[in-house]
Amino acid sequence: MSYRIPATNNYFGLEAVSAGPNSNFQTNLYLVSSSEATAINVNDLVVQTSKDTAKSVAGLTGTFVVTSSVGILGVAASPLAANAGSTAAELLLNTSQMVLLYDDLLQVYSITESSSGVIGPQTGLYKNYGLLASGVIGSTGPFQFGNAFRSNMALSGVESSVTGVLHVIALDPVEKGHYTTQTTGTATTDVRKWLVRLNSNVTYNVLATTSVALVANTSS
């Protein structure tokens, strides 16, 4: 993928990657409300709303923080324009009004750390970090790659936290083992890409719950 460039502060959200023989890229369709004013871009982190529908966290300002009332559904594998969803969409007829998500909590993703604060050297591994949902330095919004809008979310290395939504498991192989020499939290363009999983301690997959499953299958 041409945008996965080493030591470069370009942003593309959470890109699902294969990490071993058991990687199966599990995906499922979810409903999005027609009143959802925030577009869902490919590789956006997506959460469950109080209407039991899906929405991107891109509409939030700054670092996304998980709360007890927010369930993480997964990461967008397809885009959906603002106000283009429908809670009456049928699985067999109009899936274009739904969003396809990677929703396996064991899925591995590649993500770029933000130039506003890097993870730093190898000591930054195996910690939990926040996700910058919007306002990433050096980015003016979701960028267009071909005909599909992609996310501009980034990993925030300013501070590691038990409640951070992203758990770092390895330096992305595209970096060829070259960690940055910058101090953790430093604002710099000497950034890296990392392999992460969603932090299972602060997230939960609600695909199998009555609310989301029944809504998604209405009239299908």
Separation of alpha carbons 107 and 23, rounded Å = 7
pLDDT confidence of residue 218: 46
Among all chains, which residue has been given the structure tokens 């593309």?
A: 12
Query: Which residues is 27 bridged to in the sheet?
Result: 102
Residue in 122, 114, 131 with CA at minimum distance from that of residue 193:
114
Separation of alpha carbons 187 and 5, rounded Å = 19
pLDDT confidence of residue 220: 36
Separation of alpha carbons 81 and 148, rounded Å = 11
Mapped onto helix, strand or coil, the DSSP state of residue 124 is helix
Kindly tell me the sign of the dihedral angle through the C-alpha atoms of 127, 201, 19, 155. negative
Do residues 171 and 179 lie in contact, with contact meaning Cβ atoms separated by under 8 Å? yes
pLDDT per position as a tens digit, 118-165:
998 888 899 999 898 876 755 545 554 444 588 889 998 887 777 789
Separation of alpha carbons 57 and 77, rounded Å = 15
Beta strand ranges found along 32-145 (DSSP E): 45-48, 54-56, 63-64, 71-76, 98-102, 108-112, 128-132, 144-145
pLDDT per position as a tens digit, 103-117:
988 899 999 998 888
pLDDT average per 10 residues of sequence, the chain (220 residues): 80 85 79 93 90 86 69 91 90 84 91 90 89 69 56 86 88 93 86 90 49 46
- The model's pTM: 0.87
- Domain range annotation of the chain: 15-216
158 CA to centre of own chain: 18
